[in-house]
Amino acid sequence: MIEARKARVATVSLAGCFGCHMAILDIDERLIELMKLVDFDRSPLTDKKTFTNRCDIGIIEGGCCNEENVHVLRDFRRNCDVLIAIGQCAIMGGLPAMRNAIMHSDAPLRECLEEAYITGKYIRNTTHNIPNDPALPLMLDEVYPCSDVVEIDYQIPGCAPEGDIIFETLTRLLAGKFHGFSSDSIKFD
């Protein structure tokens, strides 16, 4: 017999600004309704850093800009039945992907980092170094959408998606009644 339990949800912010997690909070008082349906496992909302259980739904904010993002995303794919990418960064790279257009060779990356950490007009970096601590994850050559790294089941567009569309999508998925978005609810900004 299938055990009756709440759906388990994990969330993570990769190369994102945390805005999509703020948008999850924009569900407002309906969070109480949602919490009757789900338990949060690994998530910044619970401060759990690792999976304690296999999850039904994994929610990914942000794309992949470094090797740690890729590692975490693969971990989510292994531990979640359904992966949902929320927001433009997770779907197509978003703001961090602005660097892709200047990343066709190595020299522009150096220029970009030098301007950000050394030569930029408004920089106060007393070490005059580009951060290179071994603990820092290695930057990828480009910023990748999540669907380039693992299989993604659903994508909720928006920057950030409104609380309404997140709530609607989650509750419909949980009820097995999700059949895509209506045209007037799609927004990329």
Partner 1 sequence: MSDPDFTFTIDGKTIAGKPGQTIMEAADEAGVYIPRLCDHEGLRHQGGCRICTVKAEGRSVAACTQPAAAGVVVESETDHINKLRRDLVEMLFHEGNHLCPICEASGNCELQAMAYRLDMTAPTKFPFLEPCRELDASHPDIALDTNRCISCGRCIRASQDIDQKGIFGYVGRGIHRRVAVNGNNLAGTDADIADNAVSADVCPVGCIIRKGVGFATPIGEREFDQGMIGTDIEGKRRD
Interacting residues toward partner 1 by CB under 8 A: 88, 91-92, 94-95, 97-98, 100-102, 104, 145, 147, 155, 157, 159, 180-181, 183-184, 186-189
Taking the complex as a whole, the smallest distance from the CB of residue 90 to partner 1 amounts, in Å, to 10
Contact criterion met (CB below 8 Å) for 141 and 103: yes
Q: Which is nearer to partner 1, 17 or 174 (CB)?
A: 17
Q: Which is nearer to partner 1, 46 or 187 (CB)?
A: 187
The structure tokens listed for 67 are: 């090797």
Measured between alpha carbons, how far is 37 from 183 in angstroms, rounded to an integer? Answer: 27
Give residues with Cβ within 8 angstroms of 30, minimum separation 6: 163, 167
The structure tokens listed for 1 are: 């017999």
- CB-based burial of residue 4 (10 Å sphere; 0-12 exposed, 13-18 middle, 19+ buried)? exposed
Q: Which is nearer to partner 1, 75 or 148 (CB)?
A: 148
Q: Which is nearer to partner 1, 45 or 98 (CB)?
A: 98
